[in-house]
């Protein structure tokens, strides 16, 4: 009896495994794809750009500093796999002004075609005790890490929904999964990315656009080195419980997850709820499309 139950469970899981390519998102084909990476001139962003370039993508690097952009471009171009590939550099502060960001995306799309994948990697980190952090830090980190991801995403999303394809990646942090000593300003900004991503995914799922949130640990980058200069002792000691990662490994994983997506009873119920929310969204989308065609023929 027990053996029968075990056997049917195994058979069910095998069936799911075989069926899954039919019900999973079709992986994004990187060769020839237009990938925009904000914060692409250094750190994790640069490694993500390299990883996509190695697989044949056309890259647009977006960052503030033009010299760093050109240096990164040279480095990325070493990894080309054919002579058609292009690395485009555009200098802008993605957190300042939405219309500037919109312009940048327009420029990039004029040169390299519609954006297939947007990687929001522009960000910075500052740690310190809550009452020691400068008051402006809270607003600044939220502006760069959160608004600096909202603006580019908003600039590409309409086109992705029209083309019924696309990937939007948000680079959060492990500090965006749990709040840690010294990270009152930073964790909030990284948690915010997750809320944004979850809500956005629910909106764009029927349009075959997929959202990925990455949660890298401490990663060996220039940004991390800068953060360490002012890190409180407690934060440093806590961080030492995990090892520092190499940005190349982080980038590989992020690109893989973006390209391809218990608590048992509660999680199952939750998945049913999420499924019903998705079907509500899909139903409304189809109804709107129907109304639009009726309007057109009227």
Residue 63's DSSP bridge partners are 91
Q: Which of 151, 186, 207, 215 is catalytic?
A: 186
Measured from the CB atom, the residue of 69 and 118 that comes closer to its own copies is 118
The minimum distance between CB 184 and its own copies, in angstroms, equals 4
Instruction: Kindly give, in sequence order, each residue whose CB lies less than 8 Å from that of residue 83, ignoring residues fewer than 6 positions away.
Output: none
For residue 2, the minimal CB distance to its own copies (Å) is 18
Catalytic site includes residue 149: no
Q: What distance in Å separates the CA atoms of residue 220 and residue 126, rounded to the nearest whole number?
A: 15
Provide the minimum distance between the beta carbon of 39 and its own copies in the complex, in angstroms, as a whole number.
19
- Residue 143 known to be catalytic: no
As a whole number of angstroms, the longest Cα–Cα distance in the chain is 70
Q: Which of 172, 173, 187, 189 is catalytic?
A: 172
Q: Is 172 a catalytic residue?
A: yes
> Among 223, 169, 171, which residue's Cα sits nearest to residue 43?
223
Which is it for the CA torsion 157, 172, 205, 281, positive or negative?
negative
Name the residue nearer to its own copies (CB basis): 82 or 262: 262
Catalytic annotation, pick one of 46, 190, 205, 231: 190
Output 165 or 192, the one with its CB closest to its own copies: 192
33: closest CA among 49, 22, 45, 18?
49
- Which residues are near its own copies by CB under 8 A? 98, 129-131, 135, 138-139, 142, 146-147, 150-151, 153-154, 157-158, 161, 175-184, 186-204, 262-263, 266-267, 269-270, 273, 276-277, 280-281, 284
Radius of gyration of the chain (CA): 21
Q: Which sequence positions are flagged as catalytic?
A: 172, 186, 190
């Amino acid at each position: 009896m027990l053996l029968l139950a075990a056997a049917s469970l195994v058979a069910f899981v095998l069936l799911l495994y075989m069926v899954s390519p039919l019900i999973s998102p079709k992986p994004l084909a990187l060769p020839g794809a237009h990938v925009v990476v904000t914060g692409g001139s250094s750190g994790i962003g640069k490694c993500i750009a390299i990883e996509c370039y190695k697989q044949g993508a056309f890259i647009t690097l977006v960052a503030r500093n033009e010299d760093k952009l050109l240096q990164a471009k040279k480095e990325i171009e070493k990894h080309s796999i054919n002579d058609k590939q292009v690395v485009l550099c555009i200098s802008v502060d993605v957190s300042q002004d939405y219309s500037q960001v919109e312009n940048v995306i327009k420029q990039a799309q004029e040169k390299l075609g519609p954006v297939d994948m947007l990687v929001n990697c522009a960000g910075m980190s500052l740690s310190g005790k809550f009452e020691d952090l400068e008051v402006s830090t809270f607003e600044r980190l939220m502006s760069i890490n959160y608004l600096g991801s909202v603006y580019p995403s908003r600039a590409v999303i309409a086109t992705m929904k029209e083309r019924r394809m696309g990937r939007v990646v948000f680079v959060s942090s492990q500090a965006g999964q749990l709040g840690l000593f010294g990270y009152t300003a930073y964790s909030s900004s990284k948690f915010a990315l997750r809320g944004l991503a979850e809500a956005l995914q629910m909106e764009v799922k029927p349009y075959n656009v997929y959202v990925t949130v990455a949660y890298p640990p401490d990663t060996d980058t220039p940004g991390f080195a800068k953060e360490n200069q002012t890190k409180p002792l407690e934060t440093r000691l806590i961080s030492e419980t995990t090892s520092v990662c190499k940005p190349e490994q982080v980038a590989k994983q992020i690109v893989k997850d973006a390209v391809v997506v218990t608590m048992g009873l509660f999680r199952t119920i939750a998945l049913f709820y999420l499924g019903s929310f998705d079907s509500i969204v899909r139903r409304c989308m189809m109804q709107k499309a129907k109304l639009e065609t009726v309007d057109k023929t009227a």
